Structure 1
Amino acid sequence: MQLPADLRALPAAQFRALAALALMLIIAQIDQPFPEIAWLHHVPTVLLLVAAPMLLRRWPLSDGAVVALVLFFALHTLGGRYTYSSVPYDDWVRSLIGSAPSDWFGWTRNHYDRLVHFAFGLLFYAPIREIGLRWLGQSRIMAAIVSIGFALSVGALYEIFEGLLTLVVAPEMANGYNGQQGDMWDAQKDMGLAFVGSLLAAGCVRWSGRRG
């Protein structure tokens, strides 16, 4: 069976990364614990997998940029399986070493959503910067500013989307999707973590450039 031309045109590392993400997405549906909410989380990942081969053929990116995007969507897929409020990371860590992050830091909420928002800023920085440099003709400074601004603006738009979602779906479905967990400052904290992630990525790129 011959692969479509868009898939054949992908570098091997990028094809493997996207294939691994597709496999993870399929596995995430096995014995899905929250089927009524999961599809809302997984739609963006499906769209990425459908569109990525065509987009990367037209506007290629480096292996590192594509892997960064896949890593983010892998974290998002895991969150989508359990809903962000129910990812059992405490149980996983406790089964390995006998204690868990919530025990160490006294957490009373599930912080997986915080990790993913931070990862959004951290992992999207390089792809957006590369698009600016390679395809939009931006300077390094402008590409950095746009990449940080992307994390802030998209993070804010996502929080607005979550707010609108609460107005059009059943309350229990909205709560399960949003993962607010009773924190009235949840949206601001999520946006702040995305901002911090993008700043950290910018600092790492700057530091690596100086060392190079």
Structure 2
Amino acid sequence: MTNQKNIPLILLIILAALGIWSYIDAYDRSVWHVEMASVLTVGGLLVITYPFFKFSNTSYIIVSLWLAMHTIGAHYTFERVPFEWVSDLIGSSRNHYDRVAHFVIGLNSFCVAEWFQRTGKAKGLATCAFIGVIFIMAMANAWELIEWAYAEIDGGSTGAAFLGSQGDIWDAQKDMLSDTLGAICAAVFFVWKNGLKKA
């Protein structure tokens, strides 16, 4: 039981160490600052709110996986993360690390559903899971708009790296699809996992 209680702290230490590694010799320091803004914001909010609301270890593991992948992407820039084996596997010249990262972001619908369930803001596992999916879809849309706006304002290589389209005109739509698929998978897992508890 003690080890279970230590999981959030262990995850925080791992993320902090990964953040230090990510900063050292980052490919582009300006891109690192832009990419890490969301990591530090989300991580900071989880630390601040921990005394008042504790998510399950499953939720903390899911959100930590997202933050870890984003931190790695910040170090290399997403299109330069060593991920060629996946591209070779599916016969693509594009680096699909960002697509996988978007899918992992989608998994956070589990955390959203859990919050709605445990705070009583919504009733029923299916309803909470549905809200989680809708939340992720809305967040994915907002993120793509933020990327577009930043790229337009910056107008240079930092903005282009942050946008990360790699020349794909449908990049934003595919990213949102990846987010949504991840959200649906996590929603199904949420209903299944919590349904077992009640069985």
TM-score of the superposed pair, with normalisation by structure 1: 0.85
Aligned to 1:25: 19
Of 14, 30, 41, the match for 2:8: 14
Moved over 6 A (4+): none
The 3-state SS of whatever aligns with 2:50 is helix
Equivalent pair of 2:110/2:183 in contact (CA under 8 Å): no
- Amino acid in the other structure paired with 1:57: P
Give the Cα–Cα distance (whole angstroms) in 1 for the partners of residues 154 and 8 of structure 2: 37
1:183 and 2:168 equivalent? yes
Write the distance in 2 (CA, Å) between the matches of 1:127 and 1:188.
Answer: 23
Aligned residue in 2 for 1:36? 30
1:158-197 deviation digits (Å, cap 9, x = unpaired): 0000111122113221111111011110000000111111
Distance 2:44 2:193 in 1: 33
Of residues 79, 92, 99, the one that matches 1:114 is 99
Q: Distance in 2 between matches of 1:103 and 1:137?
A: 45
Superposed counterparts of 1:81-100, under 5 Å: 81-90=75-84, 100=85
**Among the aligned pairs, what percent are the same residue?**
26
Q: Find 1:138's aligned residue among 97, 122, 125.
A: 122
**Aligned letter for 2:152?**
L
User: Aligned match of 1:68 in 51, 62, 87?
Assistant: 62
Contact conserved, 1:22 with 1:49, CA < 8 A, in 2?
Answer: no
What is aligned with 2:141? 156
Q: What TM-score does the superposition give when structure 2 sets the normalisation length?
A: 0.90
Q: Can you give the 5+ residue segments of structure 2 that lack an aligned partner in the other structure? A: none
Secondary structure in structure 2 of the residue aligned to 1:61: coil
Given that 2:109 and 2:186 are in contact with CA atoms closer than 8 Å, whether structure 1 keeps it comes out as yes
SS of the equivalent of 1:58 reads coil
Residue aligning to 1:96: none
Residue identity opposite 1:59 in structure 2: F
Total equivalences in the alignment: 193
**Which protein is bigger by CA-based radius of gyration?**
1
In structure 1, distance between residues paired with 2:192 and 2:146: 35
Which of 39, 49, 52 is the equivalent residue of 2:46?
Answer: 52
SS at match of 2:95: coil
